[in-house]
Every structure is written in C-alpha cells, then in structure tokens.
C-alpha cells in the first residue's frame, strides 16, 4: 500500500499515456505536460488508454521511484469525471480513494474549514 501524506502534491495527466514508457520518458512528460520539474518530489500520475493501468512517478532522495498498478477487473474510467484540467492537482485524500477503487465524485464531503493561502 502506498501511504501519501496530506501535504503531498499529486498531479494527474488527463491524457492517455503509453504504459511502456519508463523513468526517462515519463520524466520528459512531466516537463512537457505539466511544465514542472520531475525532481520536485511531487507525485505525477499517468493512466493508460484503457484506464486499467496507472503509473506514478516520484523523485525520492536519490532517484526516481515508479509505482505501477494494473487492475485485474474494472477501470479508472471515472477519472475523466473528475473534470481535471491538464496539469491539475488532486487532493491526497481523493487520490487515496482512487487507489482503493472508490470514485471520489460519488463521495459526499462534509463542509469543513479550508484556509485560503495568502498572496504575500
């Protein structure tokens, strides 16, 4: 199981990605698709065309880590319903639901306080 702290930034690539791609090609996609540095420590998520496979690229202290999940049954098709823009960030709590096979768009959230970051 992958434990993701709430403070971790997670970015999902909304376009289908060839699952044959590995560390170097995916880090290149981080540059081109997200316009970000793959060494940032953020999680970058890529999903296959059939939406049954997912790769997560993250920079650890001394190198890249690549997590790969293949569903034996079902898909991540409802990821499209999250209405993510290219390079969008997803909450760590929502992504934990995604990994557990739960559609976060169907989960009812209770209203909670959310601090708006200052522009200073």
Assign 3-class secondary structure to the chain.
Answer: CCCCCCCCCEEECCCCCCCCCCHHHHHHHHHHHHCCCHHHCCEEEEECCCCCEEEEEEECCCCEEEEEEECCCCCCHHHHHHCCCCCCEECHHHHHHHHCCCCHHHCCCCCCCCCCCCCC
Across residues 101-108, what is the average pLDDT? Answer: 73
Which pTM was predicted? 0.81
So where are the chain's domains? Answer: 10-105
pLDDT, tens only, 68-94: 999 999 888 777 666 677 667 888 888
The pLDDT confidence band at residue 39, using thresholds 50, 70 and 90, is: very high
């Amino acid at each position: 199981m992958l434990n993701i702290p709430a403070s971790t930034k997670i970015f999902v690539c909304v376009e289908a990605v060839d699952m044959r791609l590995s560390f170097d090609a995916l880090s290149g996609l981080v540059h081109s698709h997200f316009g970000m540095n793959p060494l940032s420590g953020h999680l970058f998520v890529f999903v296959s065309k059939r939406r049954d496979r997912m790769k997560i690229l993250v920079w650890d202290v001394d190198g890249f880590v690549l997590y790969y999940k293949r569903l034996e049954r079902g898909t991540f098709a409802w990821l499209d319903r999250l209405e993510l823009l290219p390079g969008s960030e997803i909450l760590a709590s929502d992504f934990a639901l995604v990994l557990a096979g739960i559609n976060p768009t169907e989960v009812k959230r209770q209203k909670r306080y959310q601090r708006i970051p200052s522009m200073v």
